[in-house]
Amino acid sequence: MWLMAAGAAVVCAAAVCAAAALVVRHRMKSSGKWARALSILKEFEEKCGTPSSKLKQVADAMTVEMHAGLASEGGSKLKMIISYVHNFPTGDEKGLFYALDLGGTNFRVLRVHLGGKESRVVKQEFEEVSIPAHLMTGSSDELFDYIASALAKFVATESDSQHVSPGRQRELGFTFSFPVRQTSISSGTLIKWTKGFSVEDTVGQDVVGELTKAIERAGLDMRVAALVNDTVGTLAGGRYNNPDVAAAVILGTGTNAAYVEHAHAIPKWHGLLPKSGEMVINMEWGNFRSSHLPLTEYDQALDAGSLNPGEQIFEKMISGMYLGEIVRRVLCKMAEEAAIFGDTVPPKLKIPFILRTPHTSAMHHDTSPDLKVVATKLKDILEISNTSLKLRKLIVEVCDIVATRGARLSAAGIVGILKKLGRDTVKDGEKQKSVVALDGGLYEHYTKFRTCMENTLWELLGEEASENIAVEHSMDGSGIGAALLAASHSQYIEVEEP
């Protein structure tokens, strides 16, 4: 009996030991996986590093590329497109003008009533319309017919007091935020689509011609008076309110910059020098590329799988279209190699672009003690439940690394522009104020991104130069700017009474 009891005790002890060993092994395995997750995070953080010294190299490279792009067509990754805008609205403009702002997954139609010097912008109204996904890769006629139809419906809501004068066409400023080879203030051929659009039969066509044909098909009597990029529109809107505005930057779904250049500093301009001595340049800075950019394996994979591999590298690192996707790719690697979400990779996490920048922004700004917003986003978007606080903190760190890199690179780009204009340093006795107008959903809504970008700008410029530089949020600048440019390029200006 004693022997049987002893045997049972031995078996029981062995079982306990085995179970304990299993727990230890599980913990070791678990801690090994967590160590791997932390290792992926650390490596990613190092690769995304943007010390001041690197950012100054990026700014210098931006300035060099700007010079090259102004010297000759195709001389740089920066297109440095001549916008044909060399006279800004004066404030004397009067009447009813429209704007159409197409630059991302939504477009806006605007109606602006201008009252001249005294009243300025009397009234403005707008409507935002989503573009169905299939039209972003469909035919040119389908896309522009959809836009013209929405425009016609909006025009139909004019009040009795808002109609244009009898015998006059309505006039529209067309903000088209894609690379265009501008041929005049109201014509330009599409070079390529960006931001997820791929309507092949529009490439090489005059986009004003495409819109005009669609407007006619919609039975609307309207003339496109000005074709502008969103940054050029933002610059015009900013300059209308503040004569010190020297540049405009859009940080939204995509990103771009425009600035006022001395006309004599554009070697590739072969026309007569404008009387103003100035010319607005649309940089198309999303296509900037430099060996100094802190690219990671995730950026390279994102680029390789994109609609435009090798193009828009700067945009893919800093704009709203891509920040969420970079976060997803990092989390995917952690899920595969460190099993942070369990033994299988959550199926939803494998879907490209399922995690959008507004989602990662919400997680990044989560101030609740248990990171409740992070838990909710993971559950609602990726169907991932029961995450630990430790894991949620890790995810916030990934969001922070991606946003910080994007914000600091944006600031370096702005310094590159100021450098080109000679406004990055203070000259003896000179107190010239330079204002940069900023717009776009990323800048407006992603607070941590905006704060980091502005702080980095002051860090790079230094205290003295920073005193002469200001950043202003140009609310809806691109739409208002387009309407203002339509007014300043109206076909009826010559017949206005003095």
Q: Could you say which of 101, 145, 230, 299 is catalytic?
A: 230
179, 192 Cβ separation under 8 angstroms: yes
Q: With 0-12 CB in 10 A as exposed, 13-18 as middle and 19+ as buried, what is 358?
A: middle
* Separation of alpha carbons 189 and 404, rounded Å: 36
Is residue 60 flagged as an active site residue? Answer: no
Domains of the chain: 51-81+242-474 (3.40.367.20), 84-228 (3.30.420.40)
Which of 76, 83, 177, 478 is the catalytic position? 177
Cα 13 to Cα 2, 93, 319, distances in angstroms: 16, 93, 60
What pTM, to 2 d.p., does this model score?
0.85
Catalytic residue status for 145: no
Q: Which two tokens stand for residue 80?
A: 């440095």
Closest by alpha carbon to 448, among 316, 323, 315? 323
Q: How far apart are the first and last CA of the chain?
A: 121
Report yes or no: 101 and 172 within 8 Å, Cβ to Cβ.
no
To the nearest 10°, the Cα dihedral for 151, 157, 159, 164?
20
Q: Is 177 a catalytic residue?
A: yes
The count of other CB atoms within 10 Å of the CB of residue 323 is: 28
Q: What three-state secondary structure class fits 221?
A: coil
Instruction: Select from 93, 163, 162 the least CA-distant residue to 487.
Output: 93
The DSSP 8-state label assigned to residue 273 in this structure reads P
Query: What is the helix (H) or strand (E) element at residue 130, kind and residue range?
Result: strand 121-130
From first to last of the 498 residues of the chain, give the pLDDT tens digit: 544 444 554 444 444 444 444 444 444 456 789 999 999 999 999 999 999 999 999 999 999 999 999 999 999 999 999 999 988 888 888 889 999 999 788 899 999 998 887 778 888 888 999 999 999 999 999 999 999 999 999 999 988 777 777 778 999 999 998 888 888 999 999 999 987 899 999 999 999 999 999 999 999 999 999 999 889 999 999 988 888 999 999 999 889 999 999 999 999 998 888 888 999 999 999 999 999 999 999 999 999 999 889 999 999 999 999 999 999 999 999 999 999 999 999 999 999 999 999 999 999 999 999 999 999 999 999 999 999 999 999 999 999 999 999 999 999 999 999 999 999 988 776 778 999 999 999 999 999 999 999 999 999 999 999 999 999 998 777 788 999 999 988 887 654 433
Q: Of 76, 83, 101, 108, which one is the catalytic site residue?
A: 108
Six-digit token pair at 157?
Answer: 């809501």
